[in-house]
Structure 1
């Protein structure tokens, strides 16, 4: 599929078919995250694949936004291995993890796998519930699954601002 077709095809899927994502599709999605660019090639992102009944039940306790997805990717970054911007106030962790997550979301669309970026949760509670390492910071979760036959983008997704409202040339 052409890149712009993938971008246009992708939407936040909120209804999934009752079957697991194939290992081949999951591998392709994870590889896209691995290949994502990061600040000074730190590659500080880490992805936890949640597929077990227990793990998915924990996700459901922490967020109402799994929508029945059979797989959830929890994207974190290592706070001890980030690029610090000059001045020391900011680092690259959230942006690098977000870039990896975006790559995985687009790869999912390319594979015919639906996805939904989830940020409706308390990162500290997620961290504790999954017993993550102290240095892991949770950025987002990504629901994954094949879209149900009647899944469709929300009305909000179909409304897009004009490019002139989003871009300013300086």
Structure 2
């Protein structure tokens, strides 16, 4: 599939069937995350694959899982962070976003839906999965087969701002 078409077909899914993701497909999704670029190739991602019912219940204490049978807890290793010297900004969350985006696009190519969640209680995740202090739970990537199918790729026509409102050339302008 053409990349722009794939990007248009990717959509947020919040209602999954109970069908499990096949191992070879999950391996492909994880491989897409592995090859994602990161600042200075630091590769800060640490991913916990959650598929067992009792582990899914632990995730549900931190955030709803929409019936998914596969949740990726995407964490960031802080031990070798790249910090921008000008203002102290860490590149790690950007790196995690890129990793998740690669995996969401790979999932959609396989007709697997996804939703990336940042609004969860990291303390619950940390405790439930014995995550050390230097590893930061950054995102939940909830995966699965959509219960009701995917949204139309044409939704971007009305649901996205015109490109002229978000892109400027040479200088910022309102």
TM-score (norm 2): 0.90
Aligned position for 1:15: 15
**Offset from partner CA, 1:66-96 (integer Å, 9 cap, x none):** 1001100010110011212114612111111
Cα deviation, residue 120, structure 1: 2.2
Contact 1:76/1:140 (CA < 8 Å) preserved in 2?
yes
Q: How many residue pairs were aligned?
A: 167
The answer as to 2:10 corresponding to 1:6 is: no
Aligned position for 2:62: 62
Unaligned 5+ runs, structure 1: none
Distance 1:87 1:5 in 2: 38
Distance 1:73 1:31 in 2: 13
Unaligned 5+ runs, structure 2: none
Cα deviation, residue 129, structure 1: 2.1
**Offset from partner CA, 1:109-130 (integer Å, 9 cap, x none):** 1111100111221222221222
Cα deviation, residue 2, structure 1: 1.5
4+ long deviations beyond 6 Å? none
Give secondary structure in 2 for the equivalent of 1:36.
coil
